[in-house]
Amino acid sequence: MRITLERSLDAPSAPVYQQIATQIRREIETERLRFGTRLPPIRDLAQQLGVNRDTVAQAYEQLVEAGVVESTVGRGTFVASPRRGADLAQPMLSPLTERLLAFERTRPRFGSGQDAVSMHTLVPDPALYPADSFRKALNRVLVEGGADLLLYGGPQGSPRLRALLAERLGRAELHADADEIVLCHGASQGIALALRLFSEAGDAVALEDPTYNNALGAVLGLGLRPAPVPMRDAGLDLLALEQTLARPDVKALYTIPTFHNPMGTTTSLAHRRALLEIAERFGKPVIEDGYEMDLRFAGRALPPLAGLDTSGRVVHLFSFSKSLFPGARVGALTARGRCVEALLALKRATDLSDAMPLQAALAEFLVSGDYDRHLQRMRKVLRARCEALLEALEQEMPEGTRWTHPEGGYQVWVTLPAALDTSELLADAVAANVLFAPGSQFHHDGRASRCLRLTFAMADEAALRCGVVRLARVVRRRLKDADGGVAEVHV
C-alpha cells in the first residue's frame, strides 16, 4: 500500500495519525487490503514513514475502534472480516452521533509516567481546593435546610445564589437582576443551552478560530455547523467577523473575550465595542463565555460584552469550575427579556432540577467570605506560576518561538518557529514526560498547527521550569527534521 503524509501548515491537513488511518481504511474498503491481511508492525511502519511509534499506534487504535481491523497481543493487527460489525448485532447509531464519536477520537491521549509535567489541562490544582471550608458550608446548609434541600428545585436555580451572583456581576460592570440569571450544570451545559437558544440542527454558528474544543464538540453534538472566524493578537478579526455575520445561515456568535481559551488573550474595550456594533448591525446574538473572569491577576479589569450591551443580544456565561473546583458543577447564564423565559423552557426539557445542596453551599460559601479569600490566594499563586512559565519560555525555547502574555486564567498560547505539527510533536513530548495540548484540537477542522497550549493550572513553578526545559529539548530535535514525505509500505 502507498501512504502519503501531508505536514504542510500552508494548507489544512488532518493530524498524521488520522491520515494514516484514513489511507489504510481506504485500502481496505477498496479491497486492495483483503480480509485477514496482516498490517505492518507498529515499529516497522513508524520507521518507514518517519514518524513516532505512538502516531502509528494511535492510527491502529482508531481502526480497531471502527471495527475494520483486529489487534491481538502477540499476533499483530489484521484486516477484520467485513461481517464483523453485523455479527456483533450492535444497534445503528445516528449519523450525528457517529460524527461526534469521530470528533471524540481526535482528542489526544495523554498517557505518561508519574513524573510527567502536566501543562495540558485546565483542571485547577486539587492542592488549592478549599475542601475543608466548603465542607463546613455544605454541612451548615444541610443542617439548616434539612429535607427541603433534597427535593427538586426550580429550573432557574437557588434564588439566594442568583441574588449573590447578581451582586457580584454588578461589581464587574454587568448589571442584572437575580431574575435574569439562570443557573446550570457548569459551563458545558451553559454553552449547549445558549447554542440551542438561537439555533437548530443545520444552522451555522460563528466561532473563534482557534476556540475552546468542548464548544466545538457542543456545536457538532447539536448538529450545527461551525463558521470559523480567525483570531488575531488583538482578538477576533473584525472584518472577517462582519463577513461571517452577514451570512443568513449564521445564527449566533460564540466568543471568549476575557482570558481566551486556548490563547489566553483579552480584548480591548475598543475591540469589544466594535464587535457589539457589528453584531447589532446584522441582528445576531452573542454568547459570551466568561468562564475564568474571576481569575484576573494582572492588568485592569474590563466590562464584559454583556455589560456594554444595550440591545439585550448578549447571553453571558459564568462558571465556578475554574475559579473554585469543577466538582461544584454550577454555572450561570445571564440573559434579557424572552431569552430568560426560553432558557427556562430549555432547562425543563433538559433536566428537572439542579443540585440544590451544592447551590445552597455555594451561596453560603460566598456569604462567609471564603470564596473571596480563596480567590485572593488563587490569584497570587497563578501570577507566580505564570511568571515562572513565561521566564522559562524566554530562557529555553528556540529563537523565533512566540507566546502570549495572559492577564489572568491558566493558559499561554505558544507558536513554534517552524512548520512543525504539534500533534506529531506530542508523542515525543509524552515520551519526555511533559504534556501540552496541540493546536489542532482547537481548530474546527482539526488541521495541522504549529501552535500549542501550555497551562499553569496543575504544575507549580519548579515543575513548569522543568517542563519547559523538556519541551524545548523535544522541539529542537524536531526542528532538525521538519520535512514530510511519501513512503511505500509493502504488506
How does pLDDT run across 231-263, given as a tens digit for each residue? 999 999 999 999 999 999 999 999 999 999 999
pLDDT of residue 486: 43
Bridge partners, 208 (sequence order): 229
Residue 30 in grid coordinates: 477498496
| 131-368: CATH number | 3.40.640.10
Residue 163 in grid coordinates: 441574588
Checking if the pLDDT of 10 tops 80, the result is no
> 22-26, 63-67, 329-333, 475-479: which has the minimum mean pLDDT?
63-67
Between 6 and 25, the higher pLDDT residue: 25
Q: Which amino acid is at 468?
A: V
Bridge partners, 412 (sequence order): 454
What are the start and end residues of each CATH 1.10.10.10 domain in the chain? 2-105
pLDDT of residue 490: 43
> 40-54, 78-92, 106-120, 439-453: which has the minimum mean pLDDT?
78-92
Classified by CATH at the fold level, domain 2-105 comes out as Arc Repressor Mutant, subunit A (1.10.10)
Q: What is the mean pLDDT of the chain?
A: 90
What are the start and end residues of each CATH 3.90.1150.10 domain in the chain? 117-128+372-479
pLDDT of residue 85: 45
What are the start and end residues of each CATH 3.40.640.10 domain in the chain? 131-368
Could you tell me which residues come within 8 angstroms of residue 376 by beta carbon, excluding any fewer than 6 positions away? none
Mean pLDDT of 187-216: 96
Instruction: Tell me the pLDDT tens digit for each residue of 14-71.
Output: 678 888 988 998 888 888 888 888 889 888 888 888 887 778 888 888 888 888 888 7
pLDDT of residue 2: 81
Instruction: Tell me the pLDDT tens digit for each residue of 365-401.
Output: 999 999 999 999 999 999 999 999 999 999 999 999 9
Q: What span, in angstroms and rounded, lies between the C-alpha atoms of 131 and 110?
A: 27
| Backbone φ, ψ for residue 424 (5° rounding) | -75, -35
Q: Are strands 204-209 and 225-232 parallel, antiparallel or unpaired?
A: parallel
DSSP code at position 150: G
The class of domain 117-128+372-479 in CATH terms is: alpha beta
Q: What is the pTM of this model?
A: 0.82
Alpha-carbon dihedral of residues 26, 29, 33, 37, nearest 10 degrees?
A: 120
pLDDT of residue 86: 46
Burial class of residue 114, CB neighbours in 10 A (0-12, 13-18, 19+): exposed
> 112-121, 290-299, 324-333, 341-350: which has the minimum mean pLDDT?
112-121
Instruction: Tell me the pLDDT tens digit for each residue of 257-288.
Output: 999 999 999 999 999 999 999 999 999 999 99
> 2-6, 60-64, 135-139, 273-277: which has the minimum mean pLDDT?
2-6
Could you tell me which residues come within 8 angstroms of residue 268 by beta carbon, excluding any fewer than 6 positions away? 234, 235, 302
Mean pLDDT of 442-468: 96
pLDDT of residue 301: 95
